[in-house]
Amino acid sequence: MDDLVELTTERLRTTPPTCVRGFRLTPTELPVTYDDDCKSVWRLACDCGEERGRVLGYPLHDYNPTYDGPECYLSPLGFECSCCGKVTEIIDTDIHGYHSEVAKIEGGIGSVKSRGEGPRRPFSCLACGAQLFVVTVSFVYWPAAFDLLEEPELPILEFFNEFLSYGRCVACGEVSALTNFGKL
């Protein structure tokens, strides 16, 4: 079993879940310090190779007027390439992550997470307002995810407990957290 845990940890750290497989992915490090849970971290690039783009989604302030933290976005989240204009989907919390996977097992769809609808808006740098970013995403697996090893038919890779995303502003270099979904 310990071998299996070790092998699985290595696989989860080195394999992206399906939601971001539309991108060219480069393994990287988080731009912030975070906890020690098992995670994979990826820098996104459009399939044309370009890493700079706009992040499309839904401002949390529009959906939760009592939220008074720094701007962050709800999903579905997309990336619009600055070179070829193609939009590639990053994540939809109704389809991706731990609770959505559990819902699929139970024959449903959706999650407990708020989610945006309608036209999306580009995220603006919290420091300078510019809209082009190089984006890093991370999928975090809590120790409880390893309980799934007792049910090998389940795709453990898709049962990530947290999703993190950060944009490094192309104009000023400041890093903004793009999302704050909490536990998925």
Residues that bind Zn ion (CB under 5 A): 46, 48, 50, 81, 83-84, 86, 125, 127-128, 130, 169, 171-172, 174
Instruction: Give the single-character DSSP code of 14.
Output: H
Least distance CB 138 / Zn ion (angstroms) = 21
Output 102 or 172, the one with its CB closest to Zn ion.
172
CA 121 to CA 97: how far, in whole Å?
A: 23
Least distance CB 62 / Zn ion (angstroms) = 21
- Partners of 166 in the β-ladder: 136, 177
3-class DSSP state for residue 145? Answer: helix
Output 110 or 173, the one with its CB closest to Zn ion.
173
Output 88 or 138, the one with its CB closest to Zn ion.
88
Least distance CB 23 / Zn ion (angstroms) = 10
Q: Nearest to residue 78, comparing CAs of 88, 69, 68?
A: 88
77 vs 21, 36, 132, 142, CA distance in Å?
Answer: 14, 25, 15, 23
CA 183 to CA 97: how far, in whole Å?
A: 9
Least distance CB 27 / Zn ion (angstroms) = 20
Output 123 or 159, the one with its CB closest to Zn ion.
123
